[in-house]
Chains A and B, each alone.
Chain A
Amino acid sequence: MATTRRSAQRVRRRRVPVAPYLFVAPFVLVFAGFSAYPIFFALQLSFTNWHGAGALEIIGFANYRYLLTSPDFWQSMATSGVLWLLVVPAQVLVALTIAVALRKAKFRGVFSAALIAPFVTPLVAMAQVWIILFDKDFGAVNQGLSSIGLPAIGWLTTSAGAKVTVALLVLWRTTGYAVILLMAGLSTIPSDVYEAATIDGAGAWHQFWSITVPLVTRTLSFVVVIGTLTVFQLFAEPYVVTGGGPFNATRTAGLYLYKHITNSDLGLGAANSMLLVVMVLALSLASIRLLRSREDS
């Protein structure tokens, strides 16, 4: 009898209410249908040679082997890496400087709107402006350089110049967004911390380095991760401004992935996207760890 009661209690303890699951069901279904399933399918596709028609031909790790030994794949990763170096540190530095400068400014709302404007400006229109501005022979940028006695730069016609041009466009578009994030992060720092530091005789630079930076590190980590994701998924900017050229010098990881899709090499594209996920995840985690170690210290 006691045994029966105990087993009944165990059963009752194991049973769970359905209502919470019903409430989360819409999200779970949408997530399963539009996120989990595509990821699962992409993973499956990455082990096949499929061009969009016919049955899937399982080829094991051949796509991964091809990509990992392909100079094109590594060139696209290197291009994204160079763009990351050009964009992310500069973005963090510029965004943090602007955010600190605006912390006590009047009309912060106006500045915020101005900063977010590039982010919401249609990219294709801006890309066209960029092409005109950075044209080697007739662009305003080179006209400006020649007016101060500097030589013209092949902004769109040399490998290095094209990378810098694309990086500048990305910076122009995304820095405002980073500033908004950092302004939100800065607003959480209590003012009495600064007051105490002032009383202790700390100067502005010392306060910035010893108070602001450590206390905004979590937001900085977020900005770095978002920046990393942006750069490694970068597609539209190089697609419109340089077409991935010259000499494939601006063919980013995102653009290289797109090539597989438009070439109907869907298995290869899926494998490429899986490798990209792993690499971006590793880079993001490394960035976070680096910043957190500074926060901890």
Chain B
Amino acid sequence: MTTSLSLSRRTLFRGAGAALVAGGLGACAPGGSTGNKSLPSSSVTKPPSGEITIWDRTGDLYKVFDKAIASFTAKYPQVKVHHVAVDINAKLPATLISGAGVPDGAFYDDALLTGVAPHLYDLSQLIEQYKSDIAPYKLGVVTVDGKVVAVPWDLDPGLLFYREDVVTQAGVDPAGLTTYDALLGAARTVREKFPKAQPIHLENDQFLAQLWIDMFANQQGGAMVGADGKLTIDSDPYRKALTWLDTVRSEQLGTLAKYTQPTDLQTQDNGTQVFVPWAQWFVFAPQQLLKASKGKWRATALPAWQPGGARAGVMGGSSFVIPAKAKNPELAWRLYEHLVFSKAGYTAVYGPNDVYPGGLNTSIPSYLPALDPNTPLFKPIDAFGGQDLWKVAVEAGKQVPGGYMIPTWWGKAGDYFGVNVQKLLAGQMSPDDVLKTSASQIQKNLMGPS
């Protein structure tokens, strides 16, 4: 007796077709535009209570923030923070797009910030009261289309790291390394003394190379785009930096290696790589990765591109974002306000912890009141022979030129500019070729016709 439990084929397929069409129509309505909802100051006046989920990058920083978050929950016991370690660069963009499992707040690289800006809260009103106390460079980086889309966290000034023992044996005075020409001269001197030396680090990772050269450009007041949004990569700051790197390469004065990869670590340890102009976070390597050269590294300000020029630039940095689809954005703001703008908070972040017993020393705060040279947030570093890096980094941080803009396509440019820099360092392209080709590729593929 099948008739009572039967349907005609036509009915069955019609139903299936309708379901598919409904599904298709559903597909026409992806998540709505966020358009940078503003998180107003009035929404955070209530005493904080509730639960938030916070994403932090896996590894050392997760542990650092885990301890610092405890200082917030001690202050506000009614708040429960679910602190999660995540591969943020891989997961956050997709999560922001899908809208599923969105955290209330997340740590994120400044260089990639503009790419996800439409999915974030506009924090302009909340940041207003702190604006004058934020390093100008950092304020520029977290401002997208006139809106502050992240809580600015750290500043990563570039410094010149060098092997003090090798430099001394070669008869080079570190105090004289005031220009990049002087650094070139010092590299030649070191190689005369130690023929196997290839003293200057040359970065061979396309993403890091781009970040690195942007530090050199930032030092000279340059950036990939100008204030009007026009492409400015084919310009003197970049040309000067690439020409210098090309000289290092052609005279075989450089070690071509990827940051912290085997060649990099081995040559730093065996003393053939001596000079590393890099962000402050290079300090991680002598403390955690290098063995034979531990204690032999020192840091000083970056050389200038011309006598008397700026001796600071920024390489990298991170901030905290509050997604527009966060369930509890007000609480996330309260947490970040505590960590970044309160003495108790930033002292907890940069203070001693299990990973950095002397305090977090891979960056400095971008909040200027925290940058007192006489009130160090982290201790002198044994891996640097007890050098007080705080003073050196704070001095550099305060000199970083402002007015820097990160275009929305910065992360994508690595496929063009980053790759062309790799080719330059392999002797396959000239500085002019790199700049002209990169400008043309970026204009065509990332910016559209001008």
Q: Which residues of A contact B (CB under 8 A)?
A: 12, 14-19, 21, 32, 36-37, 40-41, 44-45, 50-56, 70, 72, 131-132, 135-139, 157, 243, 245-248, 251, 259, 261-264, 266
B133 at the A interface (CB under 8 A): no
Contact B6 A32 (CB under 8 A): no
The verdict on B7 contacting chain A, using a C-beta distance below 8 Å, is yes
- Tell me whether A261 and B33 are in contact in the complex, defined as CB-CB below 8 angstroms, given that A21-B12, A137-B266, A243-B205 are known contacts: no
A21 to B261, CA, bound (A): 57
Q: Is the CB of B419 within 8 A of A247?
A: yes
Contacts of A54 in B (CB 8 A): 32-33, 35, 118
* Chain B positions within 8 Å of A55 at CB level: 32-33
Q: Given A17, A247, A251, which contacts B6 in the complex, CB threshold below 8 Å?
A: A17
Query: Which of these, B3, B23, B262, contacts A37 with CB under 8 Å?
Result: B23
B-to-A contact residues, CB < 8 Å: 2-3, 5-9, 12, 19-20, 23-24, 27-28, 30-35, 89-90, 93-94, 96-97, 115-116, 118-119, 204-207, 256, 261-263, 266-267, 411-412, 415, 419, 422-423, 426, 428, 445
A135-B119 contact given A16-B8, A21-B12, A32-B19, CB 8 Å threshold: no
On whether the beta carbons of B118 and A44 are closer than 8 Å, the reply is no
Q: Which residues of A contact B116 (CB under 8 A)?
A: 264
In whole Å, how far is B196's beta carbon from the nearest beta carbon of chain A? Answer: 11
Write out the residue numbers on chain A whose beta carbons fall within 8 Å of the beta carbon of B32.
Answer: 53-55
Q: In the bound complex, what is the Cα–Cα distance between A157 and B257 (angstroms)?
A: 9
Q: How far is the CA of A15 from the CA of B97 in the complex (A)?
A: 45
CB distance from B411 to the nearest CB of A (A): 7
Shortest Cβ gap from B211 to chain A (Å)? 14
- Of the candidates B8, B30, B93, the one whose C-beta lies within 8 Å of that of A262 is B93
- Closest residue to B429 on the A side, CB-wise? A247
Give chain B residues whose Cβ lies under 8 Å from the Cβ of A259: 412, 415
Is A245 touching B256 in the complex (CB atoms < 8 A)? no
Question: Cβ of B419: which chain A residues have Cβ within 8 Å of it?
Answer: 245, 247-248
Whether B97 contacts A40 by the Cβ 8 Å rule is no
Residue of A nearest to B412 (CB): A263
Contact partners of A19 in chain B: CB under 8 A = 5
Contact between chains at A32 and B118 (CB < 8 Å)? no
Give the chain A neighbours of B262 by CB distance below 8 A: 131-132, 135, 137-139
A–B Cβ pairs within 8 angstroms, 16 of them: A15-B8, A17-B2, A18-B5, A37-B23, A37-B27, A44-B28, A50-B30, A51-B118, A52-B96, A52-B97, A56-B30, A136-B263, A157-B256, A157-B426, A261-B94, A264-B93
> Known: A32-B19, A138-B266. Contact between A15 and B6, CB under 8 A?
yes
Q: Which of A56, A248, A259, A264 has the most CB of B within 10 A?
A: A264
CA distance A245 to B119 in the complex (A): 30
> B261 — nearest CB in chain A belongs to which residue?
A131
Q: Bound complex: CA of A261 vs CA of B12, how far in Å?
A: 37
The answer for the CA separation of A245 and B116 in the assembled complex, in Å, is 25
B423 touching A138, Cβ below 8 Å: no
Nearest-neighbour CB distance to chain B for A69, whole angstroms, equals 11
Residue of B nearest to A256 (CB): B415
Query: A266 vs B35: C-alpha distance in the bound complex, in angstroms?
Result: 18
Inter-chain CA distance A245–B12, complex, in Å, is 52
Query: A18 with B33: in contact, given A53-B97, A137-B267 (CB under 8 Å)?
Result: no
Residues of chain A within 8 A (CB-CB) of B89 are: 262
Once A157-B256, A266-B97 are accepted as A-B contacts, the answer to whether A17 and B206 lie under 8 Å apart by CB is no
Of chain B, the residue at the smallest CB distance from A246 is B422
Distance in angstroms from B258 CB to nearest chain A CB is 8
Q: Which residues of the other chain, B, contact A52 by a CB distance below 8 angstroms?
A: 30-31, 93, 96-97, 118-119
Residues of B within 8 A of A40 (CB): 20, 23-24, 27
Hey, which chain A residues are within 8 Å of B6, CB to CB?
A: 15-18
Which residue of chain A is the closest to B12 with respect to CB atoms?
A21
- Shortest beta-carbon distance, B417 to chain A, in Å? 12
In the assembled complex, which residues on chain A have CB atoms less than 8 Å from the CB atom of B119? 52-53
